[in-house]
Amino acid sequence: MLHIYNTLSRSKQAFKPRVAGQVKMYVCGMTVYDFCHIGHARVMIVFDMVVRWLRASGYEVLYVRNITDIDDKIIKRAIENAEPIGALTERFIAAMHADSDALGLMRPDEEPRATHFIEQMQGMIGRLIERDIAYQAEDGDVNFAVRRFPGYGQLSGKSVDELNAGERVAIGSGKRDPLDFVLWKSAKAEEPADTRWTSPWGEGRPGWHIECSAMSCELLGQHFDIHGGGADLQFPHHENEIAQSEGALYGQERSEGDAPWVNYWMHNGHIRVNEEKMSKSLGNFFLIRDVLNEYDPEVIRFFMLRAHYRSPINYSDAQLDEARTGLTRLYTALAQADVKAADLQASKLDSNAWTERFAAAMDDDFNTPEAIAVLFDLASEMNRKHDAGQNAELHNLAATMLSLAGILGFLQRDPIAFLQAGTGDGLSAAEIEGQIAARLAAKQAKDFAKADGIRAALLEQGIVLEDKPGGLTEWRRA
């Protein structure tokens, strides 16, 4: 049975969907004013993995990940570029999709844009005002009154009295309390016309937090199963989402017996660079498309999933090189068997010791490090079967490995193509094939010293040769 670490309860809990056999999941997506970085890749890869396992477990999943296409950063960038908001966001949405596709990720079932849900946001804000849990300030902004919502801090563990709000936000001209946060921002004279909408409270635009509450409730209902995102969103963003959503449902009368807006909260760990959190403010972030110029997409995915999703991971070329070595080991074992991902039927996996171990790992809060360990053990067993000439057993193990790895999005390439792929450095495939031909000619001429020298020279350049029956020689990059 699947157990998920629920940030709300701070414990692993048995997963029980609201509707048997169905899962509704919302994940906070990207603010589209720039290219996506490797931190965004982790969010996308982690919850892609979650959806894949839920579906492999037999659940019908509705996966929603939003796009924030109106925001202070977007407005600032559009003004700097002297371009319309829509042109800027469309360009970076297309870039986000290109990066996601390159990483081999599934598209969400729904990908709502904030600007398409202004009416729903205004409706939620109106309900909060009616329940006297929000107010319009003198400066025109509509703010959420935090102290009027019982249980604020339940997700983050921060009580209202303990919060040092002075460090987080200054009291504005209209805020009644420094803890209050904006639901509707009054338009400023200098802001372009395409950044404002009419509303009962004057022209303006939604605050960041209200976007996710309105979009998720519209697409998934007033209560749903899983809400995910990066650990940095736990407070204040997700805390404020709970306050808004449950405030609109229950007002100030919310009690402990009321059904929670979301049953399970999942947060993936930070990516760190030199043990510092990666962020644009520190200038230590790496764009997905730049990393893809140096590393295979599967290597990036392997790097992300070989750590538990809740753990922070340190980003470096050395870490990616280690991931490439590990993935190469799996592909090398697979190359020995005559089976490819395209040959497998998309059917339920047969139960055996390998699949049971894999399932136990994934059901334990999506423990991908343990699941990947099963793949490495399979590779070792495949090597033993290959050395023993037990081809039928080797084929069966390879089929199991492909099926399990496919759930994680690995080993979907032709093994030889992966093993021969390079990043632009070193010998080309044509040059390697030329050296192999020269080695074969040397062997035929009984010049074994020259043949051995060619093999050694290729190995020094990271090219491993493997002689096959019938005089064939296969090669791969180490």
90-138 per-position pLDDT tens digit = 999 999 999 999 999 999 999 999 999 999 999 999 999 999 999 999 9
Average confidence (pLDDT) over 411-433: 78
233/254 Cα distance (integer angstroms):
24
Mean pLDDT of 318-338: 92
Q: Kindly report the CA angle at 355 between 354 and 358, in degrees rounded to 5?
A: 90
| CA distance linking residue 124 with residue 68, whole number of Å | 18
Both tokens assigned to 416: 């030889």
At 346 the pLDDT is: 41
Q: Which of 64-73, 144-153, 358-367, 422-431 has the lowest mean pLDDT?
A: 422-431
Does the structure show a pLDDT above 70 at 417?
yes
| CATH, domain range 294-420 | 1.20.120.640
Residue 398 has pLDDT above 50, yes or no: yes
Average pLDDT, the chain: 90
Q: Which of 380-384, 431-435, 436-440, 457-461 has the highest mean pLDDT?
A: 380-384
Confidence of residue 164 (pLDDT cuts 50, 70, 90): low
Q: Which of 27-31, 290-294, 405-409, 467-471 has the lowest mean pLDDT?
A: 467-471
At residue 349, the pLDDT reads 59
Residue 440 has pLDDT above 80, yes or no: no
The predicted structure's pLDDT at residue 348: 47
Structure tokens at 256: 């402990």
- Secondary structure of 11-44 in HEC code, one letter for each residue: EEEECCCCECCEEEEEECCCECCCCCEHHHHHHH
DSSP tag of 242: H
**Measured distance CA(225)–CA(263) in Å, rounded:** 5
Please check whether residue 147 is in contact with residue 100, taking contact to mean a CB–CB distance below 8 angstroms. no
Peptide bond into 108 cis (omega under 30): no
pLDDT bin (cut points 50, 70, 90) of residue 347 is very low
Classify the C-alpha dihedral 78-84-86-91 as positive or negative. Answer: negative
Asked if the domains at 3-272 and 294-420 fall in one CATH topology, the answer is no
**Burial (0-12, 13-18, 19+ Cβ within 10 Å), 203:** middle
Residue appearing with tokens 């080309």: 428
Q: Which pLDDT value is given to residue 445?
A: 82
| Res 438 pLDDT > 60 | yes
Q: 74-98 pLDDT, tens per residue?
A: 999 999 999 999 999 999 999 999 9
* Number of other residues whose CB lies within 10 A of the CB of residue 372: 23
Sign (positive or negative) of CA dihedral 248, 253, 259, 262:
positive
Three-class SS of residue 160?
coil
Q: What is the pLDDT of residue 423?
A: 52
Mean pLDDT of 258-276: 92
**In the chain, domain spans:** 3-272, 294-420, 429-477
Q: pLDDT tier at 344 (50, 70, 90 boundaries)?
A: low
Of the candidates 37, 93, 42, the one whose C-alpha atom is nearest the C-alpha of residue 304 is 42
Helix, coil or strand: residue 142: strand
Q: What is the pLDDT of residue 441?
A: 75
Span of 17-31, 61-75, 250-264, 369-383 with lowest mean pLDDT: 250-264
Least confident of 54-63, 232-241, 437-446: 437-446
Count of C-beta atoms within a 10 Å radius of residue 470: 5
Q: Selecting from 3.30.420.10, 3.40.50.300, 3.40.50.2300, 3.40.50.620, what CATH number does the domain 3-272 have?
A: 3.40.50.620
CA atoms within 13 A on the CB side of 22: 6
Higher-confidence position of 205 and 343: 205
In this prediction, what percent of the chain has a pLDDT beyond 90?
71
275, 291, 303 from 315: Cα distances, Å: 9, 11, 9
Q: Is residue 150 within 8 Å of 215, Cβ to Cβ?
A: no
> Looking at residue 345, what is its pLDDT?
47
More confident residue, 425 or 35: 35
Q: E strands within 137-180?
A: 142-144
3-state DSSP call for residue 158? coil
Residue 136: per-residue pLDDT: 97
